[in-house]
Amino acid sequence: MAGSGPSLKQLHAHHAIHEGGRSGAIDKTEEVKELLAAKEFEVAKQAAEHLVDYWETRILSHATSEEEGFYVEMAEQHPELKESVVQLTRDHDLLRIIVEDVKKILEQDGLTAEVLHRFDSLLIINEIHSRDEERILLEEPSK
């Protein structure tokens, strides 16, 4: 079992990780939309592919590290949180599923409205997930 780093266990540091990832995803999503509005279709598709890479390397890699260390430790230390950990892991799974869907659509159909909807969905799910995770695992157990 991998341990979790100290930054995952501290609310302010963990929140900063979430906000940094979220902010970058928002900026990159807006860039894709702006390029589409400017009718820069090929550049917009490349930006969408970079955005997928960002989700995988920045946000989903963070999610994996949480699952492999932080979530396991929290569930062991606070057995009452096991169901919450399952639900938070499902959020990560939803993000992974949507990213895979985006990759398939980009490959098969290019940059479509459906891709943009999925990028917006990722932002919403990630925002709700991060807020819940911070509240459940970093604020409540210490009370």
pLDDT at 3: 45
pLDDT in tens, 102-132: 999 999 999 999 999 999 999 999 999 999 9
Does pTM top 0.85 for this prediction?
A: yes
Structure confidence at residue 1 (pLDDT) = 37
For the stretch 16-74, pLDDT in tens is: 999 999 999 999 999 999 999 999 999 999 999 999 999 999 999 999 999 999 999 99
6-139: CATH, from 1.10.3470, 1.10.287, 3.30.43, 1.20.120: 1.20.120
Residue where the block lists tokens 């799910």: 125
d(CA 5, CA 66): 9
- Report how far residue 58's alpha carbon sits from residue 63's, in angstroms, rounded to the nearest whole number: 9
Helices 41-54 and 113-133: crossing angle in degrees, nearest 10, is 30
